[in-house]
Amino acid sequence: MEDIWKLYDYLLGVMTWPETLYSFLTGSMGGALVVWFANKVLAERVRAAIQHEYATKLETYKADLQADITRRLDQLRAEAEEKGRLQRERWQIKRESCLRALDIIDRVLTNILWSDQNRPDELVAIKRLPVDTQEARDVMNRLILSCDHYQVVVLFLKAIGINENGETSDPDLQALQELRNVIRKELGFGEEIYLPSDIAWLSFVLGDDIADVQSNQKDASVDSINAASLS
């Protein structure tokens, strides 16, 4: 060990620093150091290149993913808007059809002879309103197409005097009340509402100009459509 240090001191005394460095680099230890340093630099460059490529691909992937998410959200938003539009249109058709059905029932009921509860020998004076079978068919078709509950159609027919077996009968005010509540359910209007039978349907209001006052003479049909049938 002392010999090595003596050699080191000798070299320092007789050789300049450049000569010493040249001798060191050309020696086996210097060569190993150069190889190690070159490998170190190469490894760092490879690592930097890999990191750069990874970062570039990651940013590209993130951009593609964001674009795909945006595209999918736009598609879902468009589908939701279209679904909402169709639901609103369907609701409007359902609402219009239900209101027209109630209007037809009202007009049919004006053409019935109603006895006066306070004066059984007399008839209630009601202004007759026109009815149209083709309009009733159209409303029936619209109810079938737009409503969820088949009871809407069945009760509509029953309220205008048509039973499920196709036979005709007296219009049923109870069916009218049930129809109103089924319509409330169809349109999402809340709880059911049932009125006393005496006010379930308005035959007239004070001040109305009755153009077609029915005869005060009862005929055979009155016996089947009297105050008792309203309850």
- pLDDT, tens only, 175-210: 999 999 999 999 998 888 888 887 888 877 777 665
For 161: left if phi > 0, alpha if psi spans -120 to 50, otherwise beta; the answer is left
Q: What is the mean pLDDT of residues 226-231?
A: 39
Phi (first) and psi of residue 230, to 5 degrees: -80, -20
- pLDDT, tens only, 37-95: 667 777 777 787 788 787 888 788 888 888 888 888 888 888 898 888 888 888 899 99
Using N-to-C axis directions, what is the helix angle for 173-187 and 151-159, rounded to 10°? Answer: 150
pLDDT for the residue 15: 47
Cβ–Cβ under 8 Å, residues 143 and 97: yes
pLDDT for the residue 211: 43
81, two tokens: 């808007």
- pLDDT, tens only, 129-166: 899 999 999 999 999 999 998 999 999 999 999 988 88
pLDDT for the residue 64: 85
Cβ–Cβ under 8 Å, residues 196 and 230: no
The DSSP line for the chain is: -HHHHHHHHHHHHHS-HHHHHHHHHHSHHHHHHHHHHHHHHHHHHHHHHHHHHHHHHHHHHHHHHHHHHHHHHHHHHHHHHHHHHHHHHHHHHHHHHHHHHHHHHHHHHHTS--B-SSSTTSBPP-------HHHHHHHHHHHHHH-S-THHHHHHHHHTTB-TTS-B----HHHHHHHHHHHHHHHT--S-----GGGSS-S--TT---SSPPPSS--GGGGGSSGGGG-
d(CA 162, CA 144) in angstroms, rounded, equals 16
pLDDT for the residue 140: 95
d(CA 183, CA 139) in angstroms, rounded, equals 14
